[in-house]
């Protein structure tokens, strides 16, 4: 098995390439593990590096050295390849997918990542892209994709960057007109946001659907109706805590395998923090899956009585 570390120097609040190199060398050389390191030089390059390794046909473990956007690129590059497993060696500003697990901080410990278990996870297919964690459209997508503009400002990392982006985007406006087709229904209305969950956490601590399970073959969808600027703060508080059932007149919850969103114009789409623009958004449960490895002993299933899906 080959071990490939892909470093994204743009992830997080500063370039951590040398810190990563030092940690990787220290741990792998102590264990006499052969490894390689590649550093991304441009957006999208992590995907190309991962895809090249996957197409080799050799057995790989790929370590995403960055945040959720880096992981998204790498997963997109290996989707459907059975010879590759991926993980996060956390170093970004959010690292939200790791929060799915009982000890997210363990993804910063390379010793523990080398002693790993595996699970097979679903993927969200969105037009021509993939998302492992969260896909969103509307107010929420504008907030999520604008976070990068704030996260490098001192004292505005993590949730603070998200809060700053939320404030700015609230001033811009909190609803858009969409036509949403889901489960044989068609909604022609103004919506604040539409969120599709495979994982559970994003935005530095938002947990909109706490029961989401990335291995159950279902997508959890929240359609959030139009609210005023004055009401959006309360809405976000409820939404952030996963208490969507408290506002049934504003938030509709669906479990589905596909939906379509038709927008009036080019609209921001958030894929694990990566920005895409689209006028029509076709979201579905992908045929492809991904092998994901994580520190041994961690739990990610919400119901411990259900058998964990492991490889």
pLDDT at 159: 64
Under CATH, to which class is 2-122+289-295 assigned?
alpha beta
CA distances to 122, 193, 217 from 257, in Å: 11, 19, 8
Q: What is the C-alpha separation between 293 and 63, in angstroms, rounded?
A: 9
Q: What is the C-alpha separation between 216 and 221, in angstroms, rounded?
A: 14
pLDDT in tens, 195-242: 999 999 987 778 999 999 999 999 999 999 998 878 888 888 899 999
> Which tokens belong to 122?
């679903």
pLDDT at 92: 58
Sheet holding 2-7, edge to edge: 35-39, 2-7, 60-65, 84-88, 290-295, 116-121
pLDDT at 308: 38
pLDDT at 18: 95
Pairing of strands 185-197, 134-138: antiparallel
The SS3 call for residue 140 is: helix
pLDDT at 198: 97
The SS3 call for residue 223 is: strand
Q: What sign does the CA torsion over 199, 288, 144, 171 have?
A: negative
pLDDT at 305: 40
Name the nearest CA neighbour of 86 among 5, 196, 16.
5
Q: What are phi and psi of 82, to 5 degrees?
A: -75, -15
Q: What is the C-alpha separation between 262 and 188, in angstroms, rounded?
A: 9
CA distances to 170, 178, 214, 225, 244 from 288, in Å: 36, 28, 13, 31, 29
pLDDT in tens, 8-20: 998 877 889 999 9
pLDDT at 311: 34
CATH architecture of the region 129-285 = Sandwich (2.60)
pLDDT at 175: 85
Q: What is the pLDDT along the chain (311 residues), one digit of tens a residue?
A: 999 999 999 887 788 999 999 999 999 999 999 999 999 999 999 999 999 999 999 999 999 999 888 999 999 999 999 999 999 998 755 689 999 999 999 999 999 999 999 999 999 999 999 999 999 998 878 776 666 666 666 666 666 776 777 776 666 667 899 999 999 999 999 999 999 999 999 877 789 999 999 999 999 999 999 988 788 888 888 999 999 999 999 999 999 999 999 999 999 899 998 889 999 999 999 999 999 999 999 999 875 443 333 33
Rama region for 41: left / alpha / beta (φ>0; ψ in -120 to 50; rest)? alpha
pLDDT in tens, 82-103: 999 999 998 755 689 999 999 9
> Virtual CA dihedral for 133, 138, 141, 142, nearest 10 degrees?
180
The SS3 call for residue 208 is: coil
pLDDT at 307: 37
The domains of the chain are located at: 2-122+289-295, 129-285
């Amino acid at each position: 098995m080959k071990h490939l570390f892909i470093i994204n120097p743009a992830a997080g609040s500063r370039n951590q390439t040398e810190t990563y190199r030092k940690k990787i060398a220290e741990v792998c050389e102590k264990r006499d593990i052969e490894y390689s390191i590649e550093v991304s030089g441009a957006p999208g390059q992590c995907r190309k590096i991962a895809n090249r390794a996957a197409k080799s046909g050799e057995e790989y473990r790929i370590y995403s050295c960055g945040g959720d956007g880096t992981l998204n690129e790498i997963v997109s590059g290996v989707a459907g390849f059975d010879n590759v497993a991926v993980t996060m060696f956390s170093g970004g500003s959010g690292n939200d997918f790791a929060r799915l697990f009982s000890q997210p901080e363990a993804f910063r410990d390379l010793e523990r990542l080398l002693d790993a278990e595996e699970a097979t996870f679903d993927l969200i297919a969105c037009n021509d892209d993939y998302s492992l964690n969260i896909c969103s459209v509307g107010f929420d997508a504008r907030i999520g994709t604008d976070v990068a503009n704030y996260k490098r400002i001192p004292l505005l990392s993590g949730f603070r960057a998200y809060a700053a982006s939320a404030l700015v985007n609230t001033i811009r406006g909190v609803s858009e007109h969409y036509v949403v087709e889901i489960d044989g229904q068609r909604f022609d209305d103004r919506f604040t946001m539409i969120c599709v969950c495979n994982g559970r956490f994003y935005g530095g601590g938002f947990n909109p659907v706490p029961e989401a399970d990335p291995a159950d073959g279902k997508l959890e969808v929240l359609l959030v109706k139009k609210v005023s600027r004055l009401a959006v703060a309360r809405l976000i508080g409820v939404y952030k805590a996963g208490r969507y059932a408290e506002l049934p007149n504003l938030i509709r919850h669906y479990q589905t395998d596909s939906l379509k969103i038709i927008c009036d114009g080019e609209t921001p789409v958030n894929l694990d923090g990566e920005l895409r623009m689209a006028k029509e958004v076709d979201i579905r449960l992908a045929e492809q899956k991904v092998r994901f490895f994580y520190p041994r002993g961690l739990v990610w299933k919400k119901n411990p009585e259900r058998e964990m899906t492991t490889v």
